Amino acid sequence: SDPALVERARAAKAALGDRLFVLGHHYQRDEVIQFADVTGDSFKLAQEAAARPQAPYIVFCGVHFMAESADILTSADQQVVLPDLAAGCSMADMATYDQVEECWEVLEDAGIADDVVPITYMNSSADIKAFVGRHGGVVCTSSNARRALEWAFAKGSKVLFLPDQHLGRNTAVLEMGLSLDDCVVYSPNRPDGGLSTAELRDATMILWRGHCSVHGRFSLDSVNEVRARIPGVNVLVHPECRHEVVRAADLIGSTEYIIRTIDEAPAGTAWAVGTELNLVKRLAGRHPDKTVVFLDRTVCFCSTMNRIDLPHLVWSLESLAQGEVVNQITVEAETAHYARVALDRMLALP
């Protein structure tokens, strides 16, 4: 990365001192992650944001829904900055508040809404989290989806899982012992979600038709191809991948789990990793004594994670150092209140 920009980022960070805390998601570029005070998966970053009441400025190097969650979990006098407002998430955009309300009406018309506990993946907007909070549900991340489902099934007989069908299905089927037949997919763009009343009544898991545009591109062929190419390779994938991919993999887990697994693996082992490319490249660079490859060479970076680059980071840090808060992410008070209810239930999961 440009040495002049690196120097400017350092200087602005030094000028801000303890007033600043920089969070970095594992999918961020190298040029950005080097300035993070803490790195993590979305669960760890939510915890870390909540644990920094003394820092008035939180710069979130990640995507919009993560910065919103940080704003909700921090106190009113702290300001959360997202260095580029275009850093969204295509999956989070697949569920809008109006669509989720309409879905709930469909469940009410089918006479099952009282049996349904809603769960939303962290990768969703604050107003979806608030909807879930108001309706007795919980937020989950890829590192606690199983515990969230166990919590929900202790309260109700059915779950509405938003917005990632793959995380919902993979967790229910591969970790909770449900069958694929227990799951139906609700399509927000079709009348009644494309489901009959009988299908809704029979279902245990009602999965929203959403997915990650990056992880959704890994295929069973990618797994078969890498196994043929690298004998003995261990296939390690994120649970946002499609069911047949996760089923064919050796290990499944959140970004934090993926890192720990490869860090702790013996020298000489081989790993094909199905998650975002910035992270896989970093892991490969850090472990020259192991073979670490990207699961599918035709899949590319998460374009929205990559929106946060060094020029945007420098601009936001220098603005803060001059007393100007740019790109602040704020969640309206009532939405924040109910979203926090759902987030706090997640943070309290056993």
Nearest to 100 by CA among 127, 60, 80: 127
- Work out which of 9, 32, 36, 63 binds ligand SF4, going by CB under 6 A: 63
The footprint of ligand SF4 on residues 225-244 (CB under 6 A) is 240
Burial of 329 (0-12, 13-18, 19+ CB in 10 A): buried
Stretch that binds ligand SF4, among 30-38, 77-85, 127-135, 300-308 (CB under 6 A): 300-308
- Give the list of residues 6+ apart from residue 174 with CB closer than 8 angstroms, or none: 246, 247, 252
Of 123 and 335, CB closest to ligand 13P: 123
User: What sign does the dihedral 122-127-128-133 (CA atoms) show?
Assistant: positive
Of 153 and 301, CB closest to ligand SF4: 301
In whole angstroms, the minimum distance from the beta carbon of 276 to ligand SF4 comes to: 5
Q: What is the DSSP code (8-state) at residue 122? A: S
User: What sign does the dihedral 152-155-157-160 (CA atoms) show?
Assistant: negative
- What is the C-alpha to C-alpha distance for residues 89 and 62, in angstroms, rounded to an integer? 10
Nearest to 167 by CA among 124, 111, 128: 124
Stretch that binds ligand 13P, among 38-46, 226-234, 279-287, 309-317 (CB under 6 A): 38-46
Was 255 annotated as part of a binding site? yes
Q: Residue 132 corresponds to which tokens in the numbers above?
A: 């879930």
139 binds ligand SF4 (CB under 6 A): no
Was 288 annotated as part of a binding site? no
Binding-site size, ligand 13P (CB under 6 A): 9
The footprint of ligand 13P on residues 211-240 (CB under 6 A) is 240
45 binds ligand SF4 (CB under 6 A): no
- Give the list of residues 6+ apart from residue 56 with CB closer than 8 angstroms, or none: 19, 77, 78, 79
Was 25 annotated as part of a binding site? yes
Q: Residue 296 corresponds to which tokens in the numbers above?
A: 């599918």
The footprint of ligand 13P on residues 243-262 (CB under 6 A) is 254-255
- What is the C-alpha to C-alpha distance for residues 202 and 300, in angstroms, rounded to an integer? 39
341 binds ligand SF4 (CB under 6 A): no
255 binds, among ligand 13P, ligand SF4, none (CB under 5 to 8 A by kind): ligand 13P
Q: Are 58 and 80 in contact (CB under 8 A)?
A: yes
* Distance from chain centroid for Cα 96: 17
94 binds ligand SF4 (CB under 6 A): no
- Work out which of 79, 90, 204, 328 binds ligand SF4, going by CB under 6 A: 90
304 binds, among ligand 13P, ligand SF4, none (CB under 5 to 8 A by kind): ligand SF4
170 binds ligand SF4 (CB under 6 A): no
- What is the C-alpha to C-alpha distance for residues 65 and 254, in angstroms, rounded to an integer? 17
Question: Which residues contact ligand 13P by CB under 6 A?
Answer: 41-43, 123, 141-142, 240, 254-255
Positions at the binding site for iminosuccinate: 25, 42, 121-123, 142, 238-240, 255
Question: Which residues contact ligand SF4 by CB under 6 A?
Answer: 63, 89-91, 123, 212-215, 240, 276, 302, 304-305
